[in-house]
Structure 1
Amino acid sequence: MFAHTFTGLDVHAVNVAGHALNPATGEISNHTMASDPAVVLEWVRRFAPPVKVVYESGPTGFVLALYLRDAGINCVVAASSKLLRAPGDRIKTDQRDARVLAEMLAVGSVTEVRIPDPEKEALRDLSRLRSGTAKDLAHARQHVNAILLRHGIRYPKETRWTQEHGPWLHRQRFDEPALQFTYQADVEQAELLAEHHKRIDKQVAVTAAACRYGPVIDALMCLRGIQITTGYGLAVQSGDWTRFTGPSIGSYLGLVPR
């Protein structure tokens, strides 16, 4: 069905800028409102149906889209990486961004992202937590290694961060009090993150066994090098595997160099 009104929303944590466009009549309406789904719905319902709404994917998530869809409003979320922008266009305001979204929606040039349900988003959040903690742990360990390397201290064995490596780290001493404090703080940070990482891995294993992606995770674990945490991350982030081809799944997962 032809949507009489195309509405672009520039969504922020505090407010939302809206731009409604009716191509048939040329009618345009701009409005800035509070970032409350109920307030946005009230404004959208001022226009005669059918109405189609779009906003850009970002840190505000999918709460607004799910709320509008539950209210019967056709709302899509645009992939921010696929939005067309002129190379020399450096003017950026909320109302301008909302207008660009509405115009792109009207001509059908919006690339939509799949809107996950609350359960799927929760599973993804756990995967993101695990990934972020792993990066923080790697950085914390790099800080410890860097201090030792700068002061000519080398662990005598090849494998580090083992049960033997921990006591060895605590035996290292420096003459400067400031350096000793910094070193001990870095070691403590690395150990705390390691314990936190282990606790997350246990939760991932429990969640993977009970969630709807269990069969997919089990299938992925049949591949060499994929353990339960990797399989869980691939399954929940990819969602519906039928929407991918061989080359596109590699690009989506970041396995294909740009």
Structure 2
Amino acid sequence: MESVNYSAYIGLDVHKDTIAVAIASPERQGEIRFYGNISSAKEAVIRLMKKLIKLHGSILVCYEAGPTGYGLYRLLLSMNIECTVVAPSRIPKISTNKIKNDHRDAVALARLLRAGELVDVWVPDITHEAMRDLVRARSCAKKDTKVAKQRIQSILLRTGKKYEKKMWTVRHRVWLANQSFPLASQQIAYEHYRQSLEQIENRIEQLDQEIDRLLPNWSLYNLVNQLQALKGVGRTIAISVVAELGDFSRFSNPKQIMAFLGLIPGEHSSGSVTRKAGITKAGNVELRRLLYEAAWAYRNNAKVGSWLIANRPNSVCQEAKDISWKAQQRLCFRYRSLVAKGKKSQIAITAVARELLGFMWDIAVTTRNQRV
């Protein structure tokens, strides 16, 4: 955060119906007072901010990222009031403090904001937020698809019906439609499961259509295309990664983005004793899963096959292709060397996924100023 002299630092503890407000004086040991609770309605917030500006002049406001979203942030920006949305997981806390309420939370935010101890989060624009909602809705629908298929398989297994060939192909679905059961009630239960699966798949198709419609209007559309230069990174994975991570340039180096997604090794050391642990697993679980899925493409030798060429968007630039080939050479060798040393394939894939994320960052930085 830039060093600007503010006349007051405002901490807001935001809830659905109310907002607790605290004000910290600019002096290091200055007064921090609890202002009170106001309604979270837009009109009440505007009245409060006008009053605070009249009393203090230049102010800096903060509140925690949470379920209320970024509407308050955008409202304050429209009033030319500087605001920061802070990461709840990065707020310093005293372990012996066993009392928590809105009053204390607001005062703590104001105090820590004045001290510069808060870490802000990246706030997406409205289009980006809509794309992220679509991607998350699609991810939920895919999970529902897995559950629906398991239910169908379970009822078939209980009744001794087996399909010996590849499942969920066109032939398999025809076979499923032709299954019959001795009791009408059991047939109805089975048809219910099949209809549920069809409805979920229709939802996924509708979400895909809406993603396609919104994609050209997205400010990060070009980055989605450039990331598809990488082997294993298809359209869905590229959109999901960009939707969740947003602007890659907010990370000054690849190690930061690796740590952000919990792909770096943990450590618990003291004195001369060094204890290494597995990856920290911080950040987005679903995004980490997608990176693992992409990393499996690097088990074989480096090769630019016809499938990769055919599925790359035409707008992929030569710089992205060069980085993609460099990534293939390194990551394919990395996987084979780790397995040859006796590492489990899952551990090797984790290492590949971590470095693949670094190559994504490289593409994002290299092609930042390009347009579709």
Q: TM-score range by the shorter chain?
A: 0.7 to 0.9
Match of 2:87 in 1: 79
Q: Give the superposed CA RMSD.
A: 2.4
| Cα distance in 2 between the residues matched to 1:251 and 1:152 | 48
- Structure 2 counterpart of 1:6, from 9, 19, 22: 9
Contact 1:37 1:68 in 2 (8 A): no
Q: Are 2:210 and 1:200 equivalent residues in the alignment?
A: no
Pairing 1:180-191 to 2, within 5 Å after superposition: 180-191=187-198
Structure 1 letter corresponding to 2:240: G
| Cα distance in 1 between the residues matched to 2:93 and 2:14 | 18
Q: Please, which moves more after superposition, 79-88 or 8-17?
A: 79-88
Deviation at 1:60, TM superposition (A): 0.7
- Structure 2 counterpart of 1:114, from 108, 119, 122: 122
Match of 1:18 in 2: 21
Q: How many residues align?
A: 257
Deviation at 1:68, TM superposition (A): 0.6
- Greater RCO, 1 or 2 (C-alpha within 8 Å, sep 6+): 1
Match of 2:39 in 1: 34
Deviation at 1:42, TM superposition (A): 1.8
Match of 2:173 in 1: 166
Q: Are 2:62 and 1:54 equivalent residues in the alignment?
A: yes
Contact 1:21 1:27 in 2 (8 A): yes
| Cα distance in 1 between the residues matched to 2:95 and 2:199 | 46
Contact 2:13 2:64 in 1 (8 A): yes
TM-score by length of 2: 0.62
Deviation at 1:52, TM superposition (A): 1.2
Contact 2:91 2:119 in 1 (8 A): yes
Deviation at 1:175, TM superposition (A): 5.0
Deviation at 1:112, TM superposition (A): 0.2
Distance 1:3 1:234, change over 3 A: same
Contact 2:60 2:82 in 1 (8 A): yes
Contact 2:34 2:103 in 1 (8 A): no
- Structure 2 counterpart of 1:220, from 227, 250, 255: 227
Q: Are 2:168 and 1:132 equivalent residues in the alignment?
A: no
Q: Deviations over 1:96-127 (max 9, x none)?
A: 22122112112111100112222222222222
The runs of at least 4 aligned residues of structure 1 exceeding 6 Å deviation read: none
| Cα distance in 2 between the residues matched to 1:87 and 1:138 | 41
Could you list the runs of 5+ residues in structure 2 that have no partner in the other structure? 265-278, 281-372
- Structure 1 counterpart of 2:241, from 217, 234, 250: 234
Match of 2:347 in 1: none
SS in 2 for 1:46: helix
